[in-house]
Amino acid sequence: TGLQAAPADHCYAGPEDVACDFCIGRKLKAIKSCLVCLASFCEKHLQPHYDVAPLRKHKLVEPSKNLQENICSKHDRLLEVFCRTDQKCICYLCTMDEHKGHETVSAAAERTERQRELEERRGNIQQRIQDQEKDVKLLQQEVEAINRSADKTVEDSEKIFTELIRLLQKRSSDVKQQIRSQQETEVSRVKDVQEKLEQEITELKRKDAELEQLSHTEDHTQFLLNYPSLPALRESTHSSSINIRPLRHFEDVTAAVSELRDKLQDVLRDTWTIISLMVTDVDVLLSEPETKTRDGFLKFSQIITLDPNTLNRFLLLSEGKRKVTFVNHEQFYPDHPDRFDGLCYQVLSTESLTECCYWEVEWRGGGAVAVSYKNISRTERLGSNDQSWSLYFDRNSYTFHHNNIKTPLARPVSSRIGVYLDQTAGILCFYSVSKTMTLIHRVQSRFTQPLYAGIRLCFSFFCPDGSSAEFIKPE
């Protein structure tokens, strides 16, 4: 009756398990640890904690390998006191020694307080989880809404463009049909007159032959007898209607169609700019309400100075490195790997731009405001590659440049340009600044490196002192 079955292999403690401190030989897994005994017990050796009255008062916890951490290394006593002054667990003797006079409570009391704080934090975390799960659901719905809207817009746009193409094809067919119909009418009318003239020519040739024959008659009497019988020559009824003058035929139609093409190109270019703005200006759930007033933009103002090491030798800095001017003679600046060379009359800012920022540039003549990565080629113009975005301006127009693609912009020209950048959202906006803020162009992109403000200047006949650009201090 004393024989017992051997424990199964899975009951023995492995390297990752807590072993029973009282097993001899191969140790079994502990099922509990005692914070009073500071030992771990298997099921068999734990039984006295259930049977013996004094042991039943001990604190049993899940098996732990770190029981020795509950012992004071100085006094070899149980850490059952918490020092709030030093925020650490101590033993009772520590309260009379180095922690004397400190605010102390029992570890159980501190645990109760911390447990309450923990439950509050868990409650906050669980509330945030619920809130964020709702947000995830809203975002999923937003993704579905964006996809539905985009798919429907693509479908509708294709239908509209197909209708436009059909309309142009129909108008092309109508013009072609009208031209061919008028061609047939006019050719028929001309050939009718031509045929009648040819008949008159034949008749005239016959009469000329009769006259020639009569002119050779040697008998005077016969000549005089036959002469009165010759009919009088009738006046041609067609030659008088033919005037020798410059003719245009159908050239005016070609001119009219060419004018229509030019007008359509203008409309498509202007409309395309508007369409592009509409595409990049879609309002989605994550879109922040964009600032519309200058005061709103000035909250994001960043003071910008220009880096002399990047300055092209045909440019001059002034006004505390905030103003740059184009000059007609080369300056003697020291060589530097960051300096723009050749015809790249450009300069970059000293500071990289913050994630969300705004600045204004006052300009004279012609040039461009831009943002660029630091490692842009020093022999390429801003906007001529995929590492820079540039708004070029002169007295009459704006043109946006990126990756060597030019986009003309039909906007009123202002002498002050405002630039708003939100790198995280990938938004870059150029504004005409006067009494009001007028959007010139909006870019939606993905910026993968820190950005720097840039200026490009060029020679201008309207600025004999040299075109210039100045970063305005926020006011």
End-to-end CA distance of the chain: 98
Average pLDDT over residues 371-391: 93
Please check whether residue 323 is in contact with residue 468, taking contact to mean a CB–CB distance below 8 angstroms: yes
Average pLDDT over residues 257-286: 74
User: Amino acid identity, residue 374?
Assistant: K
Label residue 277 exposed, middle or buried (CB < 10 Å: 0-12, 13-18, 19+).
middle
> What is the C-alpha separation between 420 and 350, in angstroms, rounded?
18
Residue 140 scores a pLDDT above 50:
yes
Q: Which residues share a beta bridge with 324?
A: 317, 469
- E-assigned strand segments in 44-87: 60-61, 81-83
* Residue that has been written with the tokens 């017992």 in this structure: 4
Q: Per-residue pLDDT tens for 249-269?
A: 888 888 888 888 888 887 877
* Percent of the chain clearing pLDDT 70 (strictly above): 89
Residue 410 scores a pLDDT above 80:
no
Q: Per-residue pLDDT tens for 412-435?
A: 788 899 999 998 888 899 998 887
User: Amino acid identity, residue 41?
Assistant: F
Q: How far is CA 25 from CA 10, 13, 28, 220, in A?
A: 16, 11, 9, 170
* Residue that has been written with the tokens 């184009």 in this structure: 326
Query: Confidence class of residue 354 from pLDDT cuts 50, 70 and 90?
Result: confident
Q: How far is CA 82 from CA 108, 159, 314, in A?
A: 9, 76, 73
Inter-helix orientation angle 107-215/251-280, to 10°: 180
The tokens of 263 are what? 């007008």
Q: What is the pLDDT of residue 313?
A: 92
- Helices marked H in 281-330: 294-298
List strands edge to edge, sheet with 104-106: 88-90, 81-83, 104-106
**Side-chain half-sphere CA neighbours of 455 within 13 A:** 36
Residues sharing a CB contact under 8 Å with residue 74, sequence separation 6 or more, in sequence order: 91, 93, 94, 97
Q: What is the pLDDT of residue 245?
A: 67
> What is the C-alpha separation between 151 and 155, in angstroms, rounded?
6
Residue 6 scores a pLDDT above 80:
no
Rg (CA), the chain: 48
Query: Confidence class of residue 465 from pLDDT cuts 50, 70 and 90?
Result: low
Q: Which residues share a beta bridge with 455?
A: 347, 369
More confidently predicted of 382 and 365: 382
- E-assigned strand segments in 334-415: 346-352, 356-364, 366-373, 388-393, 398-402, 405-409
Give the sign of the dihedral formed by CA 240, CA 242, CA 244, CA 248.
positive
Q: What is the pLDDT of residue 1?
A: 42
